[in-house]
Amino acid sequence: MYWRQPEIKRTKTVCTYCGVGCAFEMWTRDRHILKVQPVAAAPANGISTCVKGKFAWDFVNSEKRLTMPLIRDNGRFREASWDEALDKVAKGLLHARDTYGADSVGFIGSSKASNEEAYLTQKIARLIIGTNSVDNSSRYCQNPATKGLFRTVGYGGDAGSIEDLEKAEVVVIVGSNTAENHPVIASRIKAAKKRRGQKLIVVDPRKHEMAERADIFLRPNISTDLIWASALSRYMFEHGYADLTFLDQHVNQVEAYRQSLEPFTLAFAEEKTGISRQALIDTAEMIGTAQSVCLVWAMGITQHSHGADISTALSNLLLVTGNYGKPGTGGYPMRGHNNVQGASDFGCLRNMYPGYEKVTDDDARARWAKAWGVDKEQLSDKIGEGNFLMVQSAQQDRIKAMYVIGEETAFADADSHNVHTAFEELDFMVVQDMFLSRTAEFADVVLPGCPSVEKDGTFVNTERRIQRFHEVMAPLGDSRPDWAILTELAARMGHDWGYTHPSQIMAECARIAPMFAGVTYERLEGWKSLQWPVAADGTDTPLLYTDGFPTEDGKATLFPLEWKEPDEEADDEYDLMLDNGRMLEHFQGTNQSGRTAEIWHQTPYGFIEVSPQLAAERGIEEGTWVRLTSRRDSVEMPAVITDRVDGKTLFVPIHHGKIGINALTGEHHDPDVHTPAYKETAVKLEVLDRE
Ligand code: SF4
């Protein structure tokens, strides 16, 4: 069918998949999405998108969308009116609060919803319920990176912009499959390499596309990244590559840190990491002699039992070499979900108000309380529980009620059987989602939310860039924007805030949180964007740390570290290590990406990557079905034989199946941030006799 141009509506929106934050025009007629049209003015992506942003939009009009609230009656869901459903939710949450205390209620905010919706989620948790147990999916991904950045340089976000990644003389990519997970950023790094000879170092157990393009590719043993990073720092001091002027002027604890590097000799690093001494020296020389270095990292670093320490070690290395505060430098933890940065920035964190003010800081608490019209004592100063702890608390009967917005926790959290048991233990569970997700199946009430194209709002991408998205079409059926649901729910719990548009929510947050003081919808009109922190006059910050660090004395800190053994390792029985991650075509549990038939047909089932050596040893051929068994459970899938993996390391994409790969992963986690150690999973493999 063809339409004349005037009948086509063009609306600016922002991609709802990954953290690159591609913006584009969506061309529609009524509810038909005709095409996604990138434009040069889009600040993060220009005319680029990947396959998901361009084509994976059939979920918007999927017949599986929820269009009415659902209430569980005698074990089955029935459709209900909004009145009945919201009353039940309000009563259920208040009952838990009044009967068992405020900390018996936990909230998981959505990393796919808007900043304004994240703000309302934490406002309900903190102001109405009285708990700081509010979190988002960064607990499963980049929370360790944030911890590492807070320990060293002070802001929990990328040091600069995507443009800085292009400007750097050397880019180091560690534990990030950038070409598949952040494709548009990868394209810009590839272009910088091709056009002006930018040097690329990749460190990863898996030889993915960026590794194939690298000038140096290092393949360390799993969970040894802190060792090679610290050995490089030691090398910098010993060989005159440490930036002593920068350290003297801008960094604390230099001597204590330098002494802590004593154990990290090249010989120790070679023995533990399996990387040759010469490769370590070549890497150190490339970084040490460069004028500007950017370091990119992701889940391959953070999802370990000491991911915060490894992230800290990477930031330490950048400080030692003076790679902060100048164009083309800094640390870049790649944000996964489209708004996982914003969900944290706008307060869905167990210990921080919007704008990263601590709930334990009396002055900040007093200011938030005053702005919200209550006494300081009405806001809790007790650090709440994050996703992982909430699930454990539910099992131990401390958390009685949970409210999960747009997150597929039953699939994405580690050791999923444990999570399911925890959800079954709850007295009351609410899920707000577009679909009857694997998580929603455990709920007592399911509230139908909207995708971004059916509402207004803002997202923050991986480079701290706040961008506006606009309503492309009206909400489907009786579904509602999440901000409208939360506003109505608050009113039913006695707090009539009266928001009629998300701009009012942003204006309120900007009045209270200094980090967003100058953020207004007017300043985000068209293709304009703002990178936080944003001063009251609207001046934003594309590159952090140019005038020092956001600490009391304006200095960064070198943070001494010890290497600790991983919590789970291979042994005689579970003799292989399982790596896992995303594919280009899909996102997480495929609730969105899996509903576009053309995309689903490209990648309809899961598989396991097996190295040629292991395949020869075990008699595995391409397509042979194998069973993987961890200390928790088993899964079965066909094998793909590839040198992307090496020796006894396996790789499985995370997307497929009702329960998925988290049937195998365990409860062990980073004690500093409670991020599960997804990448430390030992398994055994059996060859199956089936087609
Ligand atoms: Fe851009 Fe990421 Fe969306 Fe792809 S998934 S279009 S890279 S924002």
578-607: pLDDT as tens digits: 999 888 888 877 888 888 888 888 888 889
Distance (Å) from CA 529 to ligand 1 centroid: 17
17 Cβ inside 6 Å of ligand 1: yes
18 Cβ inside 6 Å of ligand 1: yes
Average pLDDT over residues 188-195: 96
Distance (Å) from CA 44 to ligand 1 centroid: 10
186 Cβ inside 6 Å of ligand 1: no
Average pLDDT over residues 38-55: 95
Q: What pLDDT score does 3 carry?
A: 58
Distance (Å) from CA 393 to ligand 1 centroid: 35
Distance (Å) from CA 51 to ligand 1 centroid: 8
Query: Which residue's C-alpha comes closest to atom 1 of ligand 1?
Result: 22
Structural domains of the chain sorted by starting position, each given as residue range(s) with its CATH number in brackets: 5-61 (2.20.25.90), 70-140+339-454+478-516 (3.40.50.740), 143-333 (3.40.228.10), 576-687 (2.40.40.20)
Q: Return the closest-CA partner of residue 304 out of 110, 136, 145.
A: 145
Provide the whole-model pTM. Answer: 0.96
Two tokens, residue 521: 């919808």
Give residue-wise pLDDT tens across range 274-298.
999 999 999 999 999 999 999 999 9
Cα 157 to Cα 191, 400, 441, 463, distances in angstroms = 24, 33, 34, 7
3-state secondary structure string, 168-188? CCEEEEECCCHHHHCHHHHHH
Confidence tier at 5 by pLDDT (50, 70, 90) = low
Angle between helices 307-320 and 225-238 (to 10 degrees): 20
3-state secondary structure string, 362-402? HHHHHHHHHHCCCCHHHCCCCCCCCHHHHHHHHHCCCCCEE
Is pLDDT of 1 > 70?
no
Query: How far apart, in whole angstroms, are the C-alpha atoms of residue 243 and residue 520?
Result: 39
Q: Residue 489 in contact with residue 117, Cβ under 8 Å?
A: no
Q: 137 or 76: which carries more pLDDT confidence?
A: 76
Give residue-wise pLDDT tens across range 398-411.
999 999 999 999 98
Query: Which residue's C-alpha comes closest to atom 6 of ligand 1?
Result: 53
Query: How far apart, in whole angstroms, are the C-alpha atoms of residue 672 and residue 146?
Result: 11
Is pLDDT of 158 > 80?
yes
Query: Which residue's C-alpha comes closest to atom 4 of ligand 1?
Result: 50
Q: Residue 545 in contact with residue 330, Cβ under 8 Å?
A: yes
Q: What pLDDT score does 6 carry?
A: 65
Which atom of ligand 1 sits closest to the CA of residue 51?
A: 4
**Bridge partner residues of 331 (DSSP):** 295
Distance (Å) from CA 417 to ligand 1 centroid: 31
Give residue-wise pLDDT tens across range 483-514.
999 999 999 999 999 999 999 999 999 999 99
Q: What pLDDT score does 602 carry?
A: 81
3-state SS, residue 459? strand
635 Cβ inside 6 Å of ligand 1: no
Give residue-wise pLDDT tens across range 251-263.
999 999 999 999 9
Query: How far apart, in whole angstroms, are the C-alpha atoms of residue 18 and residue 388?
Result: 22
Two tokens, residue 513: 């949180």
Confidence tier at 334 by pLDDT (50, 70, 90) = very high
334 Cβ inside 6 Å of ligand 1: no
Which atom of ligand 1 sits closest to the CA of residue 338?
A: 8
Mutation pick for ligand 1 pocket among 20, 37, 338, 453 (CB with most ligand atoms within 8 Å): 20
Query: Which residue's C-alpha comes closest to atom 2 of ligand 1?
Result: 18
Question: How far out from the chain centre does Cα 40 lie?
Answer: 27
Confidence tier at 346 by pLDDT (50, 70, 90) = very high
**Bridge partner residues of 106 (DSSP):** 402
3-state secondary structure string, 508-519? HHHHHCHHHCCC
Cα 75 to Cα 78, 89, 93, 442, 471, distances in angstroms = 10, 17, 20, 10, 36
38 Cβ inside 6 Å of ligand 1: no
Q: 659 or 185: which carries more pLDDT confidence?
A: 185
What is the ipTM score, two decimals?
0.99
Mutation pick for ligand 1 pocket among 14, 15, 461 (CB with most ligand atoms within 8 Å): 15
Q: What pLDDT score does 177 carry?
A: 95
| Mean pLDDT rounded to a whole number for the chain | 95
Query: How far apart, in whole angstroms, are the C-alpha atoms of residue 274 and residue 559?
Result: 25
- % of residues, the chain, pLDDT over 70: 99
Query: How far apart, in whole angstroms, are the C-alpha atoms of residue 276 and residue 281?
Result: 9
3-state SS, residue 457? strand
Q: Residue 203 in contact with residue 218, Cβ under 8 Å?
A: yes
Two tokens, residue 550: 């956001």
Q: What pLDDT score does 575 carry?
A: 97
Q: 522 or 600: which carries more pLDDT confidence?
A: 522
Confidence tier at 4 by pLDDT (50, 70, 90) = low
Is pLDDT of 647 > 80?
yes
Is pLDDT of 120 > 90?
yes
184 Cβ inside 6 Å of ligand 1: yes
Confidence tier at 690 by pLDDT (50, 70, 90) = confident
